[in-house]
Structure 1
Amino acid sequence: MYAIGEFVASIGDVPVIEDGAEIRLRSRDNFAVSPLLRKALAGKAADLIVAPRDVAELRHVVRQAVRLRIPLVPRGGGTANYGQSVPLAGGILLDLRGLDGIIWQRDGAVRCGSGMRMDLLDAALRPRGWEVRIHPSTRKASTVAGFIAGGSGGMGSCGFGMLRDRGNITALQMLSIEAEPRSLELRGRDVELVHHAYGTNGIITEVELPLAPAWDWREVILGFPDYLSATRFGLRLAKEAGILKKLISIHEAPAPSMMRALGGLVPAGMTAVFTMLAPPTRDAADDLVAEHGGTLISDHAEGAGPYGAPIYEFAYGHGLRQIQKSHPQTTVLQGMFPAEGLAESLARVHRRVGHAGPMRTELFLSDGEVVP
């Protein structure tokens, strides 16, 4: 359908992958969490994978793809849950992980290539006492631009809000997709033109982000007798601006026991709250736990828990992936609640649909309000 041979000949030594099995494998993201998407996206794949090593090669690739009218699908780590990076009409899967590396770092800010993997970015920042404000549960695979183009929030959102909130993305450099691609610098509110657009209106090439002080985070698992008492605690913790936290993730029984990697750590019948807390304000957090009748189940340094992965890999979309390892037919119905009357809304929904399965709730800030 497309002039793939002519395209490959026109881009010189830019790396390409033409193996059909590899292309089919990498044309998927994590849409398997949804039975509807499994059906809708079955058989969808690119014709070719192209992996430019720098912006100059990317510009040449875009120029030739536009000339030959071949679709481009920009892609980072391919960790999306909803099919955003699946090629629907064949064409070229554009692997942007070669555009990595830190361009500059100063106190409180960093600029890096769009293909920089998020865990490697944090590892490079930490020796100077800084870390990325917000990262996804897929930090080990996600690229910075992939998260910004397809994500909305994650670890750190209970303190800093969503990516779309003012100040969480300083600037983006993007390349337009046209006969002669243009490099554009977007700053301030203009970054919203590209954030959460899935690469459909341009290709992100550089990202500039504000940073947060790096803490020696503790992964703390708490137990509560039921879902509603756990949510009352979680909502209070989310509103305590003075307590340093990076995650508030609530899992009603039997969801924790459905996560095989937890190994029965959470007692049967208990609702678990997965948190990440910083030592300087830990006493205040412990007081809050006691006030709400919570029980300490586990307390470990980040990534050092007995469950074999960072605790954030049991939260957000990653939590379902953990459940599906032993319950592959299980999926989720996802909703977002308004800030007004929050506790009452959660209780009402729990009464009406709680019989269908356990509730899992992530708490974060959005426009300054606590939202689950």
Structure 2
Amino acid sequence: MTRPDYAALEAELSGLLGARGVSSDMRQREKASVDGARMSPIIAELLPLGIADLVAFPTTADEIAAVVAAAVRHGVPITPRGRGTGNYGQGIPMSGGLVLDMSRARTIHDVSEGAITADAGAPMAALEQAARATGQQLWMYPSTVHSSIGGFLAGGSGGTGTIAHGSNDGGFVAALDVVTPATGADIAHVEGEAALGYVHNYGTAGIIVRATVRLEPLQEWRGLYASFPDFSGALAVLRTLGRLQPLPRLVSADTPHVTAQLPPDPAFPAERSSLRMIVDVAALDEAIAVIEGGGGRIEDVREGPSVSSDISVLSYNHPIEWLQKSEPGVYFHVEVSGDALVERIDEVHAVYPGGQLHIEAGHRAPIGMLAGVYESPEAVLAGIERLGELGVGVHNPHQWNVDFRLAETVELAALTDPDGLLNPGKLNPAYAGPTKGAVR
């Protein structure tokens, strides 16, 4: 295959975006070609997976579309990138080509009743701030609060707000503006089921350039920090706390060992299990009563606009990331769910050496991240089988393949990207799911 003329594409993009809007500098290319994949020891063993030949920095949705059209004309693969906060290689340009860095396309266009519209690179924290100014809040708020809206929708699956709403795959997205090789420089507007076709598939069927997502009325939140002598105490109250009315935005807890690795905070006393809540002020007294009735101790109650962000950044896989930082090269993790996380915790912890669970109240059942000492990919898969026998739902994140609506995405991409230029290597029709072919 003839190598694309990257010099010609760079010249064209320089005319479109200005000299600072495109780069072939090696430092820029290397920076744009990594994400948080080192969080996975399985993927880390395979790095580097690819490096960009060019990086483009459009600042508007129209510029994003024009860059995509230019790259397609030159036959150049395109890997979309938001803030680079993904953890498993989905944003790494495995075929080289152009990395489309959309982090400068940050305009928030409209905040209306029940919805907010912004360009793909707008940080989620900025959307939340804009919503608050109108007496509203985001329906779903990510654990990585500075991730971009486009990156969160294309790559993420849930966040703060999951208790009430489930994952972001459903009602969070009202409409998307997308660009594909088939549309050229034209932007397509999609809603409903059509919009869902571009969610959580890493830009393999189309690149989100602008999004309209759902808002809800602003609630008066408090950040509630509690601790228990051991993890079993936190587990015993977690589901009850997750059902309080109004529903909390987040309830999460960690073992004493994981708690000890979190950033220093007086609310994390030594040798105790931490439990944290984003709780509606109307349910605060009841939450305190449940915690104290279960043998817990209230460490602090905090208020202010940063409550959600401060506690959100210690949810989802972030506590396990702090655990990994404290002992580099030791731990891996898998995503887990189900009541067995509470009812059979000793057996769950025993599946992997050094087992440590971060747990959260979920939409229907607890969810969490189970960490263990990494031995081999085969040991990871064997543990997944054992967890399934215990009644634990498991997703193995140590792979970069699209695994949400795979068949539908393959079918859509055949129409929107017939030459396979969008994020090559990530849409694998033969991918067999989280327990087969998920690790290498």
Q: How does 1:285-364 map to 2 (within 5 A)?
A: 285-301=287-303, 310-338=310-338, 343-350=342-349, 352-353=350-351, 356-364=354-362
Measured in 2, the distance between the counterparts of 1:335 and 1:56 equals 37
Selected match of 2:113 from 71, 92, 107: 107
Contact 1:177 1:203 in 2 (8 A): no
Selected match of 2:250 from 233, 239, 247: 247
SS in structure 2 of the partner of residue 13 of structure 1: helix
Deviations 1:129-165 (A, max 9, x none): 111121212112x111110110011111122221013
- Is the aligned partner of 1:26 residue 2:25? no
Measured in 2, the distance between the counterparts of 1:114 and 1:217 equals 27
* Change beyond 3 A, Cα 1:43–1:168: closer
- Is the aligned partner of 1:144 residue 2:149? yes
What is the one-letter code of the residue matched to 1:229? Answer: G
What is the one-letter code of the residue matched to 1:364? Answer: G
1:182 positional shift:
4.2
Contact 2:116 2:127 in 1 (8 A): no
- Is the aligned partner of 1:176 residue 2:174? no
1:216 positional shift:
4.1
The alignment covers a number of residue pairs equal to 360
Selected match of 1:132 from 129, 135, 138: 138
What is the one-letter code of the residue matched to 1:254? Answer: H
Q: Which residue pairs with 1:46 in the alignment?
A: 52
1:269 positional shift:
3.1
Contact 2:162 2:362 in 1 (8 A): yes
Q: Which residue pairs with 1:73 in the alignment?
A: 79
Contact 1:67 1:179 in 2 (8 A): no
Contact 1:303 1:311 in 2 (8 A): no
Q: Which residue pairs with 1:122 in the alignment?
A: 128
What is the one-letter code of the residue matched to 2:336? Answer: M
1:107 positional shift:
1.9
* Change beyond 3 A, Cα 1:347–1:188: farther
Q: Which residue pairs with 2:89 in the alignment?
A: 83
SS in structure 1 of the partner of residue 69 of structure 2: helix
Q: Which residue pairs with 1:220 in the alignment?
A: 224
Q: Which residue pairs with 1:258 in the alignment?
A: 261
- Is the aligned partner of 1:13 residue 2:16? yes
Contact 1:62 1:178 in 2 (8 A): no
Measured in 2, the distance between the counterparts of 1:22 and 1:50 equals 10
1:302 positional shift:
5.1
Contact 2:320 2:358 in 1 (8 A): no
Q: Which residue pairs with 2:280 in the alignment?
A: 278
SS in structure 1 of the partner of residue 163 of structure 2: helix
Measured in 2, the distance between the counterparts of 1:243 and 1:285 equals 11
1:105 positional shift:
1.5
1:345 positional shift:
4.4
Deviations 1:171-214 (A, max 9, x none): 11111123734432222233221110111110111211111222
* Change beyond 3 A, Cα 1:196–1:239: same
SS in structure 1 of the partner of residue 365 of structure 2: strand
What is the one-letter code of the residue matched to 1:146? Answer: G
What is the one-letter code of the residue matched to 2:215? Answer: L
Measured in 2, the distance between the counterparts of 1:25 and 1:348 equals 41
Deviations 1:2-39 (A, max 9, x none): 31101112231311022211220221111111122122
* Change beyond 3 A, Cα 1:326–1:40: same
SS in structure 2 of the partner of residue 64 of structure 1: helix
Q: Which residue pairs with 2:378 in the alignment?
A: none
Deviations 1:235-287 (A, max 9, x none): 112233x134121111012111122x225743333221121112122112112
1:73 positional shift:
0.5
1:88 positional shift:
0.6
Question: 5+ residue gaps in structure 1?
Answer: none
Contact 1:239 1:370 in 2 (8 A): no
* Change beyond 3 A, Cα 1:222–1:214: same
Q: How does 1:159-170 map to 2 (within 5 A)?
A: 159-165=164-170, 167-170=171-174
Selected match of 1:211 from 199, 208, 215: 215
SS in structure 2 of the partner of residue 288 of structure 1: helix
* Change beyond 3 A, Cα 1:107–1:258: same
Contact 1:17 1:48 in 2 (8 A): yes
Moved over 4 A (4+): 302-305
TM-score (norm 2): 0.76
Percent identity over the alignment is 28
1:304 positional shift:
6.7
1:355 positional shift:
5.5
Measured in 2, the distance between the counterparts of 1:265 and 1:286 equals 15
Q: CA RMSD in A?
A: 2.3
Contact 1:243 1:284 in 2 (8 A): no
1:336 positional shift:
2.1
